[in-house]
Amino acid sequence: MTDKTILLVGTYDTKDDELNYLAETIRGQGGQVMTMDVSVLGDPSKPTDISKHDVAKAGGHSIQEAIDSGDENTAMQIMAKGGAILAARLQADGKFDGALVLGGTMGTDLALDICSALPVGVPKYIVSTVSFSPLIPPERLPADVQMILWAGGLYGLNSVCKASLCQAAGAVLGAARAIERPDAAKPLIGMTSFGKTVLKYMVALKPALEQRGFEVAVFHATGMGGRAFESLASEGRFAAVMDFAPQEVGNHLMGSSISAGADRMTAAGLSGTPQIVSIGCYDLVDFVGWQDTPQKLRGQETHAHNRLLSSVMMTADQRREMAREICAKLLQAKGPTTLILPNQGGNEWDRPGGPLSDPAGLAAFIEEVRANCPPNVTLIELDAHINDPEFAEAALKQFDAWLAQGAVAQP
The 10s digit of each residue's pLDDT in 285-325 is 998 887 778 778 888 888 777 888 888 999 999 999 999 99
The average pLDDT across 223-230 equals 90
364 alpha carbon, distance to own chain's centre = 31
CB atoms within 10 A of CB 60: 11
| Residue 335, pLDDT above cutoff 90 | yes
- Residue 216 has a pLDDT of 96
Q: Which CATH number fits domain 188-405: 3.40.50.300, 3.40.50.12030, 3.40.920.10, 3.90.1010.10?
A: 3.40.50.12030
Task: Report how far apart, in Å, the C-alpha atoms of 48 and of each of 34, 144, 198, 243, 358 are.
Answer: 8, 27, 52, 44, 62
Share above pLDDT 90 across residues of the chain, in percent, rounded to a whole number: 79
**Per-residue pLDDT tens digits for 258-279:** 888 899 999 999 999 999 999 9
**Cα separation, 352 vs 344, whole angstroms:** 7
**Per-residue pLDDT tens digits for 344-393:** 999 999 998 888 899 999 999 999 999 999 999 999 999 999 999 999 99
Q: In what order do the strands lie in the sheet with 377-382?
A: 215-220, 188-193, 240-243, 275-277, 337-342, 377-382
Of 175, 177, 121, 120, residue with least CA distance to 148: 175
**Cα separation, 144 vs 147, whole angstroms:** 10
**Cα separation, 376 vs 361, whole angstroms:** 26
The average pLDDT across 245-260 equals 92
- Residue 295 has a pLDDT of 79
Alpha helices in 63-138, H assignment, sequence order: 63-68, 72-92, 105-116
- Residue 387 has a pLDDT of 97
**Cα separation, 309 vs 258, whole angstroms:** 9
Residues 6 or more apart whose CB falls under 8 angstroms from that of 296 comprise: 254, 255
| Residue 2, pLDDT above cutoff 70 | no
**E strands, 38-187, in order:** 98-103, 124-128, 146-149
| CB of 391 closer than 8 Å to CB of 342 | yes
- Burial of 141 from C-beta contacts in 10 A (0-12 / 13-18 / 19+): middle
Share above pLDDT 70 across residues of the chain, in percent, rounded to a whole number: 99
**Per-residue pLDDT tens digits for 170-196:** 999 999 999 887 667 789 999 999 998
What is the CATH architecture of 5-178?
A: 3-Layer(aba) Sandwich (3.40)
Helix (H, G, I), strand (E, B) or coil at 228: helix
| CB of 173 closer than 8 Å to CB of 31 | yes
- Residue 224 has a pLDDT of 86
> Per-domain residue ranges for the chain?
5-178, 188-405
**Cα separation, 253 vs 388, whole angstroms:** 28
Element spanning 311, H or E: strand 309-313
**Cα separation, 277 vs 239, whole angstroms:** 15
- Residue 51 has a pLDDT of 97
- Residue 296 has a pLDDT of 81
The average pLDDT across 17-31 equals 96
Alpha helices in 179-293, H assignment, sequence order: 201-211, 224-234, 247-253, 267-270
How many CA atoms lie less than 13 Å away from 329 in the CB half-sphere? 25
Q: Which residues pair with 9 in a beta bridge?
A: 36, 101
5-178 and 188-405, same CATH topology? yes
